């Protein structure tokens, strides 16, 4: 198993998240000098394919495991739908959505209703963001620093098309503060067709997914620098 360590989770490193991200982005842009967009996309494709089979465990600086990704078994959308739109965790299944290139594993579908057409909901998202190309954790709001300002999304379902923006009433969460945009990555909206969003008091009832998001479905820096990200996200309706 390959262990991937990040300095973001040192006890004193969180407050320097934005500056470290800037350095990572600068390095990526430097590495991309002279590469065509087609070459960058090919590098991304190879990085994703490698990630699927590497038996990855993402750990913090103290050696504690944040996410045990493992070797991934990719299934088609047809198989996913035939098995009641769930992924078999015992086989570490991820469904590949061919139209977007997003891979998704549903860890928990959640309780309560789905977000139906015409509905709007304010949803708390707690997440870990990992850069697959550089093997590094970029951001997370599941830490003490962001305990009072989680990422909150205002999500709308319009006839099966989901749109969302980050709410900034309380200053915004890690995604807004890091990337300076209220735009929710398109890849984050893929699960809403399949998960249930309710007001849970137990963590076991909260919808939880893992995503591999190519740059085209990611946040602004990923799109401009052409890198894919792995996310572990929980979704919960605000009280």
Question: What does the pLDDT read at residue 146?
Answer: 87
Give residue-wise pLDDT tens across range 188-199: 999 999 999 987
Strands (E), the chain: 2-6, 56-60, 65-70, 73-75, 93-97, 102-108, 120-131, 136-140, 151-158, 161-166, 207-213, 229-237
Question: What does the pLDDT read at residue 198?
Answer: 80
- Residue 219 in contact with residue 179, Cβ under 8 Å? yes
Question: What does the pLDDT read at residue 195?
Answer: 97
CA distance 192 to 182: 18
Question: Got the DSSP string for 171-222?
Answer: S--HHHHHH---BPPGGGGGGGGT------SSGGGSEEEEEEE-GGGS-HHH
> Can you list the domains of the chain with their CATH numbers?
2-237 (3.10.50.40)
> 28: how many CB neighbours lie within 10 A of its CB?
19
> For 216, how many CA atoms within 13 A lie in the half-sphere containing its CB?
11
CA dihedral (226, 123, 211, 77) positive or negative: negative
Question: What does the pLDDT read at residue 20?
Answer: 41
pLDDT under 70: residue ranges of the chain = 1-33, 200-203
CA distance 119 to 142: 27
pTM comes to 0.86
């Amino acid at each position: 198993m390959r262990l991937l360590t990040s300095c973001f989770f040192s006890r004193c490193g969180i407050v320097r998240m934005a500056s470290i991200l800037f350095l990572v982005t600068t390095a990526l842009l430097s590495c991309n000098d002279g590469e065509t967009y087609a070459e960058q996309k090919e590098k991304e494709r190879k990085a994703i394919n490698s990630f699927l089979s590497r038996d990855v465990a993402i750990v913090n600086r103290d050696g504690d495991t944040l996410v045990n990704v493992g070797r991934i078994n990719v299934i088609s959308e047809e198989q996913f739908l035939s098995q009641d739109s769930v992924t078999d965790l015992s086989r570490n299944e991820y469904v590949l959505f061919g139209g977007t290139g997003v891979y998704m594993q549903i860890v928990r579908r959640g309780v309560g209703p789905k977000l139906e057409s015409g509905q709007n909901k304010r949803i708390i998202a707690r997440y870990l963001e990992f850069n697959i190309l550089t093997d590094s954790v970029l951001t997370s709001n599941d830490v003490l620093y962001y305990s009072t300002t989680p990422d909150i999304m205002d999500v709308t379902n319009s006839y099966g098309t989901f749109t969302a923006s980050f709410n900034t009433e309380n200053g915004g969460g890690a995604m807004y503060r890091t990337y300076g945009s209220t735009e929710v990555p398109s890849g984050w909206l893929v699960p809403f067709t399949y998960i249930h969003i309710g007001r849970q008091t137990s963590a076991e009832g909260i919808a939880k997914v893992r995503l591999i998001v190519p740059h085209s479905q990611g946040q602004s820096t990923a799109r401009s620098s052409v890198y894919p990200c792995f996310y572990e996200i929980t979704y919960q309706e605000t009280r």
